[in-house]
Amino acid sequence: MVKRFYESVLLTLFAFFFILFGGCGSGGEKGSSHDASPLNMVFVSIPGGSFRMGDEAGDLWEGCRPVHTVTVTGFDMGAYEVTNAQYAVYLNAAIQSGDIEVKDGDVYGKTGEWAVQRYLDIGYDYGGENKCWITFENGVFTAAAGKENWPVVAVSWYGSKAFAAYYGFDLPTEAEWEYAARGGKQLMYGTDDGSIDSTKVNYDMYVGCPTPVGAYPPNPFG
């Protein structure tokens, strides 16, 4: 059984979500050299199956068409987005192991495939509560008090990929993400029942900033 978890990424005003996956156990897949247990991730099992991928309705990207049947194998997925506190744990481990560095106030890869790529825009501030809540002082990364359980934002794709790889995980296919979101019931939206409103999901500026992970009901897959 493969394990996956996902991470919220705020590049501009909008939140983008990435599922990250890896092997069972505290250290990720066999061969992973870094212990993931300090992250305290919570996983749920997603059974394998087939679903209708894509959508013909609405003003959607043409890549959603035509609708077609896709089959995925079972995997485990994180119940929540990766939080500021969890990403700070990674940053502190990675700077100690020499895999990242801080340049011009931001976090960059230092080794491996994504060396020199920016991982985290520490100075990101879109106004109000929409900002990076991780700071770097005296060689230590810290999640702001009261924001530890918020989804981490201002992380690039490289920062997500590197975070995953550090613990033996990786990014999923688009099909795996859509399959999980549909909850095994071909739901239109990834909510508890496929409908959408402000009691079920943080969207359309009803809140206007991130909310703590687990603030909304899970979909049928958990």
The reported pLDDT for the residue numbered 138 is 97
CA quadruple 156, 67, 44, 191: dihedral, nearest 10: 90
- By the 8 A CB rule, do 135 and 124 touch? no
Q: What is the DSSP string of 8-73?
A: EEESSSSEEEEEEEE-SSTT-STT--S--GGG---EEEE--EEEEES--SSS--GGG-S-EEEEE-
Give the β-pairing of 125-127 and 169-170. unpaired
- Closest by CA position to 162, among listed 18, 66, 56: 18
Residue type, 209: C
**pTM (2 d.p.):** 0.85
Position 61 scores a pLDDT of 62
Order of strands, edge to edge, in the sheet holding 15-22? 43-46, 75-82, 2-10, 15-22, 169-170
In our burial notation (b when 16+ CB lie closer than 10 A, e otherwise), range 38-49 reads ebebebeebeee
pLDDT tens, per residue, the chain with 222 residues: 445 544 443 332 223 344 444 333 334 444 457 999 999 989 899 999 999 998 766 655 666 778 899 999 999 888 899 999 999 999 999 999 999 999 999 999 999 999 999 999 999 999 999 999 999 999 999 999 999 999 999 999 999 999 989 998 877 788 888 999 999 999 989 999 999 999 999 999 899 999 999 999 999 999
pLDDT of residue 33: 73
Helix, strand, coil percent content, the chain, rounded in steps of 5: 15, 30, 50
Burial level of 132, CB count in 10 A (0-12/13-18/19+)? buried
